[in-house]
Amino acid sequence: MNTPFVLQKLGYSAQNEPIIGGALIFLIAGLSIGYLAFVRNEMNAGIVLKVGSVLLLAFAALALFWPQRPWPH
């Protein structure tokens, strides 16, 4: 399995499939922002950064367990 094929598979998901690529993006962004917000004190993170990181992780779970409302509905 070559690299472009794996990336293609990760980056595409059909209508009623879990969105793996999206979950990956949300997970990376959520963990990075969470690290800055909760671990690094020098960032002096506000509520937006903290809630944002949790929200991104929630979106990652949502994308992973997609679809909640299969099409056609």
Partner 1 sequence: MTLTTEPDTEGLEIEADTTVGGYEATQRKRWPRYLAHAILIIAVFVFVSPFVWAFFTSLKPESEIFATIYQIIPSEPTAENYVQVWNEQPLDRWVMNSLIISTGIVFFTVLLDTLAGYALAKGRFRGRGITLTLVIGTLVIPPQVVLVPLFLEMNWLGWGNTYWAIMILFIANPFGTFMMRQFFMTIPDSLLDAARIDGCNTFEIYTRIMLPMAKPALASLTVFTFIFAWGAFLWPLIIVNDGAMFPLQVGIALLTGPYTSNWGQLLAAAIMAAVPVLTAYLLAQQTFMEGIALSGGGKGQ
Q: Give me the residues that bind partner 1 (CB under 8 A), please.
A: 4-5, 7-8, 10-15, 19, 21-22, 25-26, 28-29, 32, 36, 40, 42-44, 48, 56, 59, 62-63, 66-69, 71, 73
For residue 51, give both structure tokens: 């809630």
To partner 1, the closest distance from the beta carbon of 61 in angstroms equals 12
Exposure of 37 by Cβ count < 10 A (0-12 exposed, 13-18 middle, 19+ buried)? Answer: buried
Residue type at 68? Q
